[in-house]
Amino acid sequence: MRSIFNKIGWFIKQEWKLYLLMFFLLIFISVLALAPAYVLGKAIDVLISGALTKDSLVLLVALLVLLPVTRYFSSFLFHFLVNKTANKLTYQLRHNYLSHLFEMDLDFFETYHKGDLIARITNDLEAITVAATQLLEGIVFNVGIILFAIGIMSFTISWELTLISVTIMPVALTLLNIIRFKKRRYIQKHREIYSEMTEIVLESVEGQKTLRAYGQQKSNLDKQYKAIDRDIESWRYIVNYENWFNPLFEVVYGISYILAFGFGIFFIINQKISVGELVTFVSYIGMLYGPIISMSTIFTQLNNATISVDRYDEILKTQAKVKDEQDAKHILSFKEIEFKDVVFKYPFDKNPVIKNISFSIKNGQTIGIVGPTGSGKSTLIRQLLREFNVTSGLILIDGNDIQSYKVEAVRDLVGYVPQAHVLFKRAVDENILMGNPNANQNMLDKAVKIADFEKDLLYLHDGLNTMVGESGTTLSGGQKQRLSIARALIKDPEILILDDSLSAVDAKTEENIIDRLKEFRSNKTNIIVAHRFSAVRDAHTIYVLENGEITQKGTHAELIRQEGWYKHQYIQQMTMK
């Protein structure tokens, strides 16, 4: 409980007025819940004594009607406030969580997979919300009924009978509180198993086309079944634990009930209490059963919430390694970018991907980067996106370390078209406008034209308004590439990076795009990573990467005169035409 309060106490302090109002409402509802049994006991004594009159009958009936009505409206108000508070907390927790995810670098997303991150913002967040709102009702209401009932039983009926019949209850609660900690470790394990299952299901849904193409549906379905079975077995263990443990309270209740009834009759015989008081006393014992059973559920929910709040807090406490320095500067344009002895190794790799890279890019130049598959081309140019910090060396913008500029400001300089095109289930124009939501129609038309996507609009049933299938499933590979290029172009970035983004288009379409880039971006910087040399032939400088190192550089004409990878690959491509 302390752990939960420490980590979401900020919200309770923020909404303390609501919590205070709900607290007093619960106290009031607890008293109202006990009042009918007290009135009923008094009524029985009045009937037995023969002192019932018309006025006292009207009063008793009025009280028995008024009490549940009052309790109904009080409960209605309380649950309205609880739902309002829960929605507010859920919104803030999700806002904080998602905002934090967008601040994280790729190192973070290599550490936590999708299924785990989704589980933390669904199951874990729900458990936290329950702990911060509904558990207030569970604890205050149930504890309130228990304390008020015991108080009335002790001070208005018989403290001796209360001591005899109720003492066993706190003993059982203490025992539960000790044993419940043993389950916490396994609930943590269950959450991890659930996250793994979620990841496998997500992977299967996203990769359904590939699975069908290779006839792996059954194999993958078996994998899903195993993950689901493992999750069910994990949960079954917890359920079995609760099924074994929860009946303990029924035993406790049964013992209390027998003691109350047996000794209560003895006390009536000895004229220590009346029949009406015994009825009231036994009614209160019956009322204690529900709260005590609820307390066992509350302990389970507290246990789950403690684990959930730790898992949620773990994400929020994780700090991005790529972040703004305290005095980070803005940047809107540049004259020159220089790589000086840059070495980069992914956190999850053993060896560097790029090694001692040194070269420069002047504003307005078009740079080509080529090389064998796996030579580090994409990794090299993605250093400009600041997804990771370089392992060693420097990247300088106008003589200043790239880390001295704001991360978002540097990324705003770049329009990046990756190899894996990410499209969303939105209209074509909405997918393009994600590059620049404030773009006007002329800018949209220009981006579509440069990306040579105009001809495709004729075949789309609703033109720019055509809905794109999830992950671009309704488009061809070439259409997805050109749509991604249009999205980068509408940003009109200082630096346009095409990371092997023309591989799925035909030679004529590639020529159209390259010609339009030369026409419309002649004064802007372009970096083209490609396997086909036709895409980089007109670049100011072409760099050849092999095994993470620059082995050749020059113009197309210079490189085909040199012996090396470029000339050999060029001849091979010409031969294949």
Q: What gap in Å lies between CA 271 and CA 263, rounded to an integer?
A: 12
The residues, ordered by sequence, that sit 6+ positions from 344 with a Cβ below 8 Å of its Cβ are 352, 353, 354, 379, 380, 383, 388, 390, 391
Given a cut of 80, whether residue 220 has pLDDT beyond it is no
Q: Regarding predicted confidence, which is higher, 166 or 438?
A: 438
What number does CATH give the domain 336-576? 3.40.50.300
Q: Are 336 and 361 in contact (CB under 8 A)?
A: yes
pLDDT band at 242 (very low <50, low <70, confident <90, very high): low
What number does CATH give the domain 2-317? 1.20.1560.10
Given a cut of 90, whether residue 394 has pLDDT beyond it is yes
Q: By three-state DSSP, how is residue 535 classified?
A: helix
Return left, alpha or beta for 525; rule: phi > 0 is left, psi -120 to 50 is alpha, else beta.
beta
Which pLDDT does position 554 carry in this prediction? Answer: 92
Which pLDDT does position 213 carry in this prediction? Answer: 57
Given a cut of 70, whether residue 129 has pLDDT beyond it is yes
Looking at residues 112-125, what average pLDDT do you find? 83
Q: What is the pLDDT of residues 405-430, one digit of tens each?
A: 998 999 999 999 888 778 888 888 88
Q: What gap in Å lies between CA 570 and CA 551, rounded to an integer?
A: 16
Q: What is the pLDDT of residues 451-509, one digit of tens each?
A: 888 888 888 888 888 888 777 777 888 888 888 889 999 998 999 999 888 877 788 88
Q: Regarding predicted confidence, which is higher, 403 or 422?
A: 403
Looking at residues 257-276, what average pLDDT do you find? 84
pLDDT band at 532 (very low <50, low <70, confident <90, very high): confident
Looking at residues 105-133, what average pLDDT do you find? 82
Share of the chain above pLDDT 90, in %: 17
pLDDT band at 269 (very low <50, low <70, confident <90, very high): confident
Q: What is the pLDDT of residues 66-87, one digit of tens each?
A: 888 888 898 899 889 888 888 8
In the chain, which residues fall in CATH 3.40.50.300? 336-576
pLDDT band at 178 (very low <50, low <70, confident <90, very high): low
Q: What is the pLDDT of residues 22-53, one digit of tens each?
A: 888 888 888 887 777 777 777 777 777 777 77
Q: In what order do the strands lie in the sheet with 392-397?
A: 354-362, 336-344, 392-397, 400-401
Q: Regarding predicted confidence, which is higher, 72 or 305?
A: 72
Which pLDDT does position 302 carry in this prediction? Answer: 74
Q: What is the 3-state secondary structure (H, E, C) of 410-457?
A: HHHCEEEECCCCCCCCCEHHHHHHCCCCCCCHHHHHHHHHHCCCHHHH
Given a cut of 70, whether residue 211 has pLDDT beyond it is no
Any idea what DSSP says for residue 153?
I
Q: By three-state DSSP, how is residue 329 classified?
A: strand
Q: What gap in Å lies between CA 422 and CA 359, rounded to an integer?
A: 30
Q: What is the pLDDT of residues 141-160, one digit of tens each?
A: 777 777 777 887 788 888 88
Looking at residues 421-442, what average pLDDT do you find? 87
In the chain, which residues fall in CATH 1.20.1560.10? 2-317
Which pLDDT does position 60 carry in this prediction? Answer: 77
Give the global pTM.
0.69
Please give the angle made by the CA atoms of 264, 267 and 273, to the nearest 5 degrees.
Answer: 90
Which pLDDT does position 443 carry in this prediction? Answer: 92
Q: CB count, 10 Å around CB of 485?
A: 28
Which pLDDT does position 350 carry in this prediction? Answer: 84
Share of the chain above pLDDT 70, in %: 89
Kindly provide the residue ranges of all beta strands, DSSP E only, lying in 163-227, ordered along the sequence.
none
Q: What is the pLDDT of residues 313-366, one digit of tens each?
A: 888 888 888 888 888 899 888 999 999 999 999 877 888 999 999 999 999 999
pLDDT band at 228 (very low <50, low <70, confident <90, very high): confident
Kindly report the average pLDDT of the chain as a whole number. Answer: 82
What does residue 390 show for φ and ψ, rounded to 5 degrees? -65, 150
